[in-house]
């Protein structure tokens, strides 16, 4: 199982909430319980996809179609034989040839865009120009030769008939009000049955008039719709519609405001409603209105938490071959309107038998004066929702008009959730019943996440198991769609950027019997004859979807230590391990391939324990350590999944030896031996062979075989490593350092001696010696005075840098003022 329980000491059995049954008088109690459930919500288990394929991964082949002049390819219609895919895009209808294995080819294109005048009027109404083109929202087969298409057409819906062979319009487009929404992002649903169009959409420009209607009625039948004055719908969001042939009914799935609950805030509920194909409206009461309309609440809720009350998508799973039509199942994605459940999605399934039982039961009564709902206790005049009421009396039709909400609630199969995700928000789904090799049927869900991944999940008795996740787009997409082709075994994903084709099975990715069985994919089984994982078409293939027991399915036994050193084969190539040459004190990092996100990786050494003081286990499963004589040797990574162990990587960490030229380890097919050839120091060819944990060395010159068992390393026959070069380098460096230190010391001593022998100045008397500098200065002064006496007529001259005037006085300097 890929369910990993969260550590939570509390249990959800503390309180039991049955929210839809409450008549809330004290609203504070509701918020208190919601807050309490918010603390309990982390106790949910986690669902982890076993394998993840990012966009462009070689392990999952996808086929893309895109074109620079085509966008919003989100409305998909699959041809009857599955070789053609019709796509409603922006301003165009495409015909794609999907019959080729590795390509999707554009065969034809119908351009259908508004005129410049239409776009200008759309912009004048206050709409963005990006929303004014013609977005095709309805694309259905009308008959064997024509397709009926409707588009938003600049917020003025238009519909037309298109020849499916030539992709040309047969008639001029007509008004599409009530058949197609005005807004390209307004949710809606449409289905054509026997040439008549049944829709759930809005019929006005502002989106305030929701309708469930029938168009293109044939014969004496008239188009029908809901009476907008009766409040039959309360701000609905239409999700999908489904036709049940043996019932001759159309079922609509949507969410709306639940007026039957008296809450402060609007309480959103999910609904299923029905109309009969034979309905033609009443003769006086309910003229041109549905007489068979009825609706009921869908409850997707676990026993002890708030309900997942907002429906996101719904798909129909027909009954198994030979089963009753009442065993038809409806699988839906539900989310919660409360922040305590934000970011989570739940999957619930509903049985047609339970829906029919609720519609045949009691109905609530709406008091028009107080707008309060109550359960009718008086005699039941008629059964709302019953087909054939168009000829009933006015009294019966009046009763039906006032009683259209079923009193009981449609609960999921088993009164439990089929699947719940605490990490992913799902937006779309499609469901398929798959027959495994054991002839047992399994339900497989294909779920599209908001982040752009498709999750492939199988529903088991112990819970859901997500087999894989495949990324189909990266950029956020506003409108998306899924279309499953069971005959071709592919899923088509329509996004704003193009169409992606995803095969439902990916059996060839699993290269061994254990991997094929551990995938637990009902599509895949191990074929012993071809020794490959193939589509499980007969009972000869090995498979165990429920338990994933490798030992029984592959006839294997638990791996022993010796067997764990066997050769690893991946995608047809066999490896005996990798030789890693390192230097001492070098940081080594050994990688371990992770083939499953549900597995746990464990590193081992033969006859040795990995001490946490020496080894570091990293988050990606790799092992890091420092190369020392103790850490040299063999390492292997063992993966454990569902109690099955298998070796994923083998390494032989060896110290580098420069005189030896080493070659990678090779595998000898059919022998299970490892062989490594190298040239020794003296030119001797050395061959290392390994069988299990026994390592041997054989030398050509002597022909002698020697074995070593310590730490899985062979005894070295050649000379040990030589450190002469390293010793010489260290010695030279030591001599240079000593010489430098000696030089510096001698220089310091010489400087100190020189200072001690220098003469001492400044101790002579005043009368004996005047400094030579002082005497020279005095002579220069006397000379200047004599010159001044002989040059009195001069205006002034400079003596010793001082300006002297004609009188022999110093001239005042500006800075001396």
Pair (801, 672) in one structural domain: no
Q: Which domain holds residue 468?
A: 51-63+428-477+479-555
Pair (522, 442) in one structural domain: yes
pLDDT average, residue stretch 54-58: 92
- Residue 571 sits in a domain whose CATH number is 2.60.40.10
Pair (528, 577) in one structural domain: no
At 519-571, the pLDDT tens digits run 999 999 999 989 999 998 766 889 999 999 999 999 753 433 333 444 544 44
At 236-274, the pLDDT tens digits run 999 999 999 999 999 999 999 998 888 778 899 999 999
Residue ending a domain, choose from 498, 526, 555: 555
Handedness of CA 635, 641, 643, 647 (dihedral sign): negative
pLDDT average, residue stretch 682-687: 32
HEC readout, 581-631: EECCCCEEEECCCCCCCCCEEEEEECCECCCCCCEEECCCCCEEEECCCCC
- Alpha carbon separation from 306 to 256, 410, 553 (Å, rounded): 17, 16, 41
Pair (581, 530) in one structural domain: no
What is the domain count for the chain? 3
Written as six digits, the tokens of 501 are: 């084709």
Q: How far is Cα 509 from Cα 489, in angstroms, rounded to an integer?
A: 16
Pair (519, 575) in one structural domain: no
Q: What is the pLDDT of residue 366?
A: 81
Pair (693, 623) in one structural domain: yes
Whether residue 25 is predicted with pLDDT greater than 90 in this model: the reply is no
Structural domain includes residue 663? yes
Q: Does residue 735 sit in helix, strand or coil?
A: helix
Structural domain includes residue 126? no
- Residue 508 sits in a domain whose CATH number is 3.30.1680.10
Structural element, H or E, at residue 136? strand 136-141
Residue ending a domain, choose from 712, 737, 756: 712
CB 460 within 8 A of CB 419: no
For the chain, give the mean pLDDT: 80
Structural domain includes residue 583? yes
Structural element, H or E, at residue 442? strand 441-449
Q: How far is Cα 404 from Cα 359, in angstroms, rounded to an integer?
A: 9
Q: How far is Cα 54 from Cα 599, in angstroms, rounded to an integer?
A: 19
Pair (702, 795) in one structural domain: no
Taking the C-alpha atoms of 766, 768, 769 and 775 in order, what is their torsion angle to the nearest 10 degrees?
90
Handedness of CA 745, 746, 747, 749 (dihedral sign): positive
Pair (433, 526) in one structural domain: yes
Pair (440, 505) in one structural domain: yes
Handedness of CA 325, 327, 333, 338 (dihedral sign): positive
pLDDT average, residue stretch 732-751: 88
Q: How far is Cα 724 from Cα 720, in angstroms, rounded to an integer?
A: 12
At 163-183, the pLDDT tens digits run 999 999 999 999 999 999 999
| Closest listed residue to residue 193, CA positions, set 141, 116, 254, 115 | 141
Structural domain includes residue 568? yes
Q: What is the pLDDT of residue 801?
A: 39
At 415-472, the pLDDT tens digits run 999 999 988 999 999 999 999 998 899 999 999 999 999 999 999 998 999 999 999 9
Q: Which residues pair with 39 in a beta bridge?
A: none
For residue 343, name the pLDDT band (cuts at 50, 70, 90): low
Q: What is the pLDDT of residue 580?
A: 93
Which residue carries 């690893």 as its tokens? 568
Structural domain includes residue 144? no
Pair (577, 534) in one structural domain: no
Pair (546, 603) in one structural domain: no
Residue ending a domain, choose from 712, 738, 771: 712
CA 104 to chain centre: 25
Structural domain includes residue 527? yes
Pair (681, 654) in one structural domain: yes
CB 474 within 8 A of CB 422: no
Structural domain includes residue 611? yes
- Cα angle: 479, vertex 483, 487; to 5 degrees: 170
Q: What is the pLDDT of residue 522?
A: 96
Structural domain includes residue 623? yes
Q: What is the pLDDT of residue 539?
A: 66
Q: What is the pLDDT of residue 721?
A: 53
| Closest listed residue to residue 216, CA positions, set 192, 189, 200, 238 | 192
């Amino acid at each position: 199982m890929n369910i990993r329980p969260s550590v939570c000491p509390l249990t959800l059995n503390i309180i039991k909430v049955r929210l839809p049954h409450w008549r809330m008088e004290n609203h504070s109690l509701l918020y208190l319980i919601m807050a309490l459930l918010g603390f309990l919500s982390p106790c949910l288990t986690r669902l982890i996809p076993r394998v993840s394929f990012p966009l462009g991964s070689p392990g999952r082949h996808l086929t893309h179609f895109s074109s620079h002049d085509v966008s919003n390819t989100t409305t998909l219609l699959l041809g009857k034989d599955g070789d053609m895919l019709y796509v409603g895009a922006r301003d165009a209808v495409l015909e794609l040839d999907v019959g080729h294995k590795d390509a999707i080819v554009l065969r034809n294109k119908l351009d259908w865009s508004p005129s410049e005048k239409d776009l200008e009027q759309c912009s004048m109404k206050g709409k963005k120009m990006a929303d004014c083109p013609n977005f095709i929202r309805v694309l259905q087969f009308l008959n064997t030769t024509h397709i009926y298409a409707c588009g938003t057409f600049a917020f003025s819906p238009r519909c037309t008939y298109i020849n499916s062979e030539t992709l040309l319009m047969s008639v001029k487009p007509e008004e599409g009000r009530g058949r197609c929404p005005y807004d390209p992002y307004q949710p809606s649903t449409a289905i054509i049955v026997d040439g008549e169009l049944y829709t759930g959409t809005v019929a006005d420009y502002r989106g305030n008039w929701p309708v469930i209607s029938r168009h293109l009625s044939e014969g004496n039948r008239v188009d029908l719709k809901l009476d907008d004055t009766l409040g039959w719908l309360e701000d609905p969001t239409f999700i999908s519609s489904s036709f049940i042939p043996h019932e001759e009914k159309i079922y609509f799935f949507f969410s709306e405001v639940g007026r039957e609950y008296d809450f402060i805030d609007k309480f959103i509920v999910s609904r299923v409603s029905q109309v009969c194909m034979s309905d033609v409206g009443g003769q006086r009461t309910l003229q041109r209105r549905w007489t068979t309309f009825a609706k009921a609440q869908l409850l997707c809720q676990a026993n002890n938490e708030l309900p997942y009350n907002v429906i996101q998508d719904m798909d129909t799973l027909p009954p198994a071959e030979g089963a009753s039509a009442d065993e038809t199942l409806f699988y839906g994605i539900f989310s919660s309107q409360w922040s305590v459940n934000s970011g989570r999605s739940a999957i619930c399934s509903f049985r047609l038998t339970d829906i029919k039982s609720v519609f045949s039961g009691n109905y609530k009564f709406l008091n028009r004066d107080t707008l309060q709902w109550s359960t009718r206790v008086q005699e039941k005049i008629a059964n709302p929702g019953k087909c054939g009421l168009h000829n009933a009396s006015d009294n019966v039709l009046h009763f039906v008009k006032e009683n259209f909400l079923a009193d009981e609630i449609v609960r999921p199969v088993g009164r439990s959730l089929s699947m719940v995700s605490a990490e992913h928000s799902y937006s779309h789904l499609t469901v398929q019943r798959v027959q495994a090799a054991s002839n047992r049927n399994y339900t497989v869900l294909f779920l599209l996440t908001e982040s752009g991944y498709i999750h492939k999940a199988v529903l088991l008795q112990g819970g859901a198991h997500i087999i894989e996740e495949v990324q189909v787009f990266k950029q956020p997409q506003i409108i998306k769609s899924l279309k499953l082709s069971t005959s071709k075994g592919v899923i088509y994903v329509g996004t704003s950027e193009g169409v992606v084709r995803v095969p439902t099975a990916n059996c060839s990715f699993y290269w061994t019997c254990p991997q094929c069985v551990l995938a637990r994919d009902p599509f895949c089984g191990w074929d012993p004859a071809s020794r490959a994982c193939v589509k499980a078409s007969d009972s000869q293939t090995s498979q165990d979807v429920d338990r994933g027991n490798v030992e029984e399915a592959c006839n294997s036994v638990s791996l022993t230590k010796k067997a764990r050193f066997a050769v690893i084969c991946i995608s047809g190539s066999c490896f005996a391990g990798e030789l890693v040459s390192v230097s001492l004190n070098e940081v080594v990092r050994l990688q371990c391939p992770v083939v499953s996100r549900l597995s746990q990786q464990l590193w081992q050494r033969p006859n040795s324990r990995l001490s946490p003081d020496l080894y570091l286990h990293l988050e990606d499963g790799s092992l890091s350590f420092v190369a020392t004589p103790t850490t040299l040797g063999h390492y292997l990574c063992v993966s454990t999944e569902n109690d099955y162990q298998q070796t994923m990587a083998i390494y032989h960490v060896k110290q580098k030896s420069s005189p030896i030229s080493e070659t990678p380890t090779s595998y000898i097919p059919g022998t299970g031996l490892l062989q490594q050839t190298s040239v020794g120091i003296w030119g001797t060819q050395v061959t290392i062979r390994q069988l299990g944990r026994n390592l041997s060395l054989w030398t050509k010159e002597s022909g002698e075989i020697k074995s070593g068992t310590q730490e899985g390393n062979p005894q070295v026959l050649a000379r040990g490593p030589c450190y002469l070069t390293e010793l010489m380098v260290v010695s030279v460096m030591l001599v240079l350092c000593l010489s430098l230190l000696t030089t510096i010391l001698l220089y310091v001593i010489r400087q100190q001696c020189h200072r001690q022998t220098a003469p001492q100045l400044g101790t002579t008397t005043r009368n004996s010696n005047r400094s030579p500098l002082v005497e020279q200065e005095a002579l220069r002064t006397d000379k200047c005075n004599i010159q001044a006496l002989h040059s009195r007529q001069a205006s002034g001259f400079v003596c010793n840098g001082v300006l002297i005037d004609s009188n022999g006085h110093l001239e005042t300097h500006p800075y001396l003022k």
